[in-house]
Structure 1
Amino acid sequence: MLKSHFSQFSTALNKKSFGFLPNSEEVFCYALKNNKGTELEVINYGATITSLKIPINEKEKVDVVLGFENLENYINSFNLSSAPYLGAIVGRYAGRINNARFMLNGKTIQLTKNHNSHQLHGGFEGFSKAFWEVKSVTTNKNPSITLQYTSKDGEENFPGELSVEVTYTLTEENELKVEMTAKSSEDTVINLTQHSYFNLDGHSSDIINQELFVNSHQTLETNINTIPTGKFFEIKQTPFDYTSPKECPTKIDNTFVLDKKNEVAANLLSKKNKLKMSVFTNQPAVHIYVGGNCFNQIKGKENASYHPLSGICFETQNFPDAPNHEHFPNSILKKGVTYHHETTFKFEKL
């Protein structure tokens, strides 16, 4: 049984206890607030975003991400038939790796298999269940929090000790900036992503009345197991063509090849709250997924019942299964070289 202890945020540190892990390590929730009134909450279990409240007028804020009230629910969510990874950092390799195997420097690396015969989102534990150390918190202009995790050599059978940092920054332009860096003691593969489910109508709503734009003309072709075949699928005049904004799909689990890095990758628009979110990244793809279902087994924040249309993920990343496709963008991180991932979620009133 998990021990629980909750308190108000400390005004000095902007943190409160969020509960205890089974090994008695205490998890904390950290709060950031910018001058626009936008509020972000992060816990150091999985470096997880639990809440993101955006002002929509002088009196109201809307919480635009799915999350849970307590640590026990986050831990138990990984036991659901399809774990949602609400708000967590995913690694060492986000997405699927075919047969949980790849070649590196002429050697076959056999990873753990947590998704039938494949590996998904870093294996059985991965970064999403890890206890992250809080390295620094700033509370002045452009408040930020930096968290650090060291993935041991051989964790989930990945080679090399990998030191990872993620920094969340709330800018005064109402941007949530996510910066991830990593270094390895040996050559390895890496693909990190931030796995928040967004809903601009509020986390207890559904996403069907919001509009989606994706700056892409191709997706990765996949087989019946959602593993990339290595081919690209032209999406012009298909249901996956979101080059003009249209209603969010009710079912999608696709990797979109981005036309240009650092331009807008995607937009989400809420007519109800007159709110727009724009996604920017230096990554070659954004994997878009609609979901959040907790199967009526775990309640979300404020007693919300999360279902298959509760939120939409913008998983900015490299291509899934890139280690097994030479023509995909490079996923190998050489010993001593720094991996650098930047993604920005910008919020604007319409």
Structure 2
Amino acid sequence: MDLKHISHFQDKSLSNLFGLMPDNEEILSFELCNKNGMKVQIITYGATVTSLQIPLSTGKLVDVVLGFDSLEGYLKSYDLPSAPYFGTTVGRYAGRISKGIFSLNDKTFQLNTNNNGNALHGGNIGFGKKVWQVADLTSGENPSITLSLLSEDLEENYPGELQVFLTYTLTEKNELKLEYKATTTKDTVINLTHHSYFNLDGHDSTVLNQSMFIDAEKIVETDADNIPTGNFTDLFNHDFDFRTAKKCPATIDTSFVVEPANNCAAKLLSSKNNLQMSVYTDQPSVHIYVGGNCFDILKGKENAAYHASSGICFETQNFPDAPNKEHFPNSVLKKGEEYHQKTVYKFENIN
């Protein structure tokens, strides 16, 4: 799809005003709802998921993602010592790039650095801080919304004008499906991911009572700055071996190596709500992160006081620093080709 050939979705009767940007640009909120009563709310700021309500077997709805009630909360969160990126779409490159430097076609690019001298999650103004356009919206069975973003050539010093489309679909099987597509005017590097903090007990709870399964034999080894060394760590007898489900750790910021397949890559399980989330992806990694917080400064939705173990991220993506590691999966999107990424978060009531 080409943005220049799309008439942007204009019907605001299906949206709500979520807030105004500093330049008074409107940020809209859209709600998708399936026949089971599952609901997701998405805003045009950062193509961000602000709420994801799952029906329990008791009939009650539980909101399983962290977020803010207002646009102001999201804007202010980026001023924190370490931004939490609640529910955002991360790009142009998710994860860290060492020293913000990579070479492509015999040319070296110096990206903006924003994390201990490294580039993280797209730099100073990543895709989560951008206002996306609504390209399409469907209702009825399996409702969906497609958001688009045009990233200029040399934005954050990345080469190529990048055209991105992200489609969220809410299926009748209680799945939230994310499908990313992108094209570029010049060869570039790309790694897009979704950054919701999940909590199956409810967004105002703790994840430490929930269990996690990850179908991974190895993790990406990193140095003190969380930059990959190029090696992998075998998980046999390792604390992070989650091939048998066990409690979520209090602190983790680790890329698990998964085989892109139809199999479930990871699961989160709540015994309190008898709820299970299964993660499916065509990406080589699920990056697990616990430890994001609001530094006791910002209040979350419904005045929730978020803390370091309020939520857990399942970021389906390529490995961090892949542009600098020849043996890592390809991170280069060539002019004339299309980037494609698909991730599914499926929710089921369990006995």
TM-score higher than 0.5: yes
Partner of 1:126: 126
Distance 1:228 1:13 in 2: 47
Query: 2:260–2:283: 8 Å Cα contact kept in structure 1?
Result: no
Partner of 1:214: 214
Distance 2:211 2:255 in 1: 18
Alpha carbons of 1:304 and 1:295: their partners in 2 closer, same or farther (altered >3 Å)?
same
Distance 2:12 2:40 in 1: 16
Report deviation, 1:182: 0.2
* Matched letter for residue 245 of structure 1: A
Distance 2:13 2:32 in 1: 10
- SS of equivalent to 2:74: helix
- Mean CA deviation greater in 283-292 or 95-104: 283-292
Count of paired positions: 340
Distance 2:49 2:338 in 1: 24
Report deviation, 1:117: 1.2
Partner of 2:60: 60
Partner of 1:262: 262
Distance 2:161 2:79 in 1: 27
Distance 2:192 2:260 in 1: 19
Q: Residues 77-111 of structure 1: CA distance to partner in whole angstroms, max 9, x if unpaired?
A: 00111100000000000000001001100111111
Partner of 1:5: none
* Matched letter for residue 101 of structure 2: R
Distance 1:61 1:72 in 2: 26
Q: TM-score, normalised by structure 2?
A: 0.95
1:95 is aligned to 2:95: yes
Alpha carbons of 1:230 and 1:138: their partners in 2 closer, same or farther (altered >3 Å)?
same
Distance 1:323 1:315 in 2: 18
Query: What aligned pairs does 1:1-350 form with structure 2 within 5 A after superposition?
Result: 13-57=13-57, 59-350=59-350
Report deviation, 1:336: 1.6
Q: Residues 316-340 of structure 1: CA distance to partner in whole angstroms, max 9, x if unpaired?
A: 0000000000000000000021000
Q: Residues 182-227 of structure 1: CA distance to partner in whole angstroms, max 9, x if unpaired?
A: 0000000000000000000000000011000000000010000000
Report deviation, 1:260: 4.0
Write out the 4+ residue segments of structure 1 that deviate beyond 3 Å after TM superposition: 11-14
- SS of equivalent to 1:87: coil
Q: Residues 271-293 of structure 1: CA distance to partner in whole angstroms, max 9, x if unpaired?
A: 00000000000000010001331
- Mean CA deviation greater in 107-116 or 125-134: 107-116
- SS of equivalent to 2:166: strand
Query: 2:198–2:311: 8 Å Cα contact kept in structure 1?
Result: yes
Distance 1:205 1:336 in 2: 46
Query: 1:252–1:288: 8 Å Cα contact kept in structure 2?
Result: yes
* Matched letter for residue 296 of structure 1: D
- Unmatched tracts of structure 1, length 5 or more: 1-10
Distance 1:59 1:277 in 2: 18
Report deviation, 1:165: 0.5
Distance 2:76 2:12 in 1: 31
Distance 2:262 2:196 in 1: 20
Query: 1:14–1:32: 8 Å Cα contact kept in structure 2?
Result: no
Report deviation, 1:262: 3.1
- Unmatched tracts of structure 2, length 5 or more: 1-10
- SS of equivalent to 2:59: coil
Q: TM-score, normalised by structure 1?
A: 0.96
Query: 1:219–1:257: 8 Å Cα contact kept in structure 2?
Result: yes
RMSD of aligned Cα (Å)? 1.1
Query: 1:64–1:198: 8 Å Cα contact kept in structure 2?
Result: yes
Distance 2:344 2:241 in 1: 23
